[in-house]
Structure 1
Amino acid sequence: MKNIKTDFEDRFWTTGKGFGLQLMEHFFQFNELDVSKERLSNMMKYAVKRNSWIHEDPAVIFQFHQSMRLLVRAGHLVMQKERKWTVDTRPEKIAPSVLGLLSEKEYRNPLLVFRKAFWEYDIKEFDYFMSGIVYFSMGAYENLPESNIVMPYIHTVKMLDAAHLILQRKKEKEKAENNSGQEG
């Protein structure tokens, strides 16, 4: 009997243009931006704290872990396949409260967030980061994560903001197109 091994990773994530945006929309259907950022922050806090663990339902943490993996892959797809429509070319000054962790340049072009993140780390390294903070936040351990988890954390929070911004602009663009189509 042959032992056939199927590798779904590569084939599943190589779908055409627009699929990354669908994955992002799927993420935000089940996860609100503020709640996701807070949950990620709490997980990070407990991951680096000795002898303490997060007091949240493990099923919720696992679901969030899987959702974040989906978002990272969606960002990778969007970075590869999408190009221009997400750029904000308006010259006005942006309020710091709107930016979050994003720089003004990243706010105008959220794809830069994904380019920077995937230039420094690959998908497997983001998976390792997410698995690590889940592992270390779910139990009381003497040891701390052995690798730098601060930079992947910052990139992940920025990816959340950038993905939300991309979807917001997509909705605005579709709304503007629908309104101009109805007027003409």
Structure 2
Amino acid sequence: MKKKKIDFEAEFWNGHTKHSCLTLIDAFFKMDYLSEVKGMLADVISYSTKPKVLLKSNPSLIFHFYLCMRSFLRASYVLQLNTKKWKLNDPAEFTSRLLQGSLSDEEYCDPFLVFRKAFKVFSLKDFDLFLTEIIYHSLGAHYDEPEVNIINPFIHLTKMLDAAQIRGIEKIKK
């Protein structure tokens, strides 16, 4: 029986190159800084609960953000499935609290813990629904709020972004 591969759907924002989960996450952070991604995510969340439209002048930026985040979530899902195949670089002796972001000390030492916790609580389909809902509601002047829980997935997604960028992750060579 063949293993089913997850399509990262990165061809719309990163060309037609084949990616592993690590190369896709690297490409994601080369394209945008962590602070910009987290800021855009916060804006999308904020506008999804207001009867205002985010970026009226250029809504294609929101669609581009949506595609990138979807690919990031898929790569994160694959990364947490195969944690035994990856090795973390050793942390620096002194870690700044700013570098930790929203992560606890335990999560900072083991970023895979963040991914496992997130996908234990929410499935990939739940995260897709969350992204679709907040993007849909941020692009229209709706007076109703998203029907799904947006706070918990937002917290998990923010932690995953922080965990993905902490330290280098390398594949264990056999």
CA deviations 1:28-83 (Å, max 9, x no partner) are 2322211101000000011122x212125211111110110111111111111233
Structure 1 segment 119-130 matched on structure 2, within 5 A: 119-130=120-131
Q: Does 1:39 align with 2:40?
A: yes
Instruction: Give the letter for the 2:115 counterpart.
Output: F
Q: Which runs of 4+ in 1 moved over 4 A?
A: 87-90
Q: 1:11 — aligned with what?
A: 5
Distance between the aligned counterparts of 2:6 and 2:116, measured in 1?
21
1:85 aligned partner: 87
SS at match of 1:85: strand
1:125-165: per-residue Cα shift (whole Å, max 9, x none)?
10100011101111111110122110001111111111112
1:134 and 2:135 are equivalent in the alignment: yes
**Structure with a larger share of its residues in helix:** 1
- Equivalent residues in 2 for 1:1-184 (5 A)? 10-13=4-7, 19-49=20-50, 51-55=51-55, 57-83=58-84, 85-86=87-88, 88=90, 94-165=95-166, 168-170=167-169
Identity of aligned residues (%): 35
- Aligned partners of 2:6 and 2:74 also within 8 Å: no
41 and 24 in structure 1: CA distance in 2 versus 1, 3 angstrom threshold: same
Task: Identify unmatched segments of 5+ residues in structure 2.
Answer: 9-18
Aligned position for 2:16: none
Larger Rg computed on CA atoms = 1
Q: Is the 8 A contact 2:53 2:141 kept in 1?
A: yes
Q: Residue 88 of structure 2 aligns to a residue in which SS? A: coil
Aligned partners of 1:48 and 1:136 also within 8 Å: yes
Give the Cα–Cα distance (whole angstroms) in 2 for the partners of residues 169 and 71 of structure 1. 16
Q: Which amino acid in structure 2 is aligned with residue 46 of structure 1?
A: Y
How large is the Cα RMSD of the aligned pairs? 2.4
> TM-score, length-normalised on structure 2?
0.80
Q: Distance in 1 between matches of 2:164 and 2:168?
A: 10
Number of residue pairs matched?
156
Q: Which runs of 5+ in 1 are unaligned?
A: 1-9, 172-184
TM-score scaled by length of structure 1: 0.76
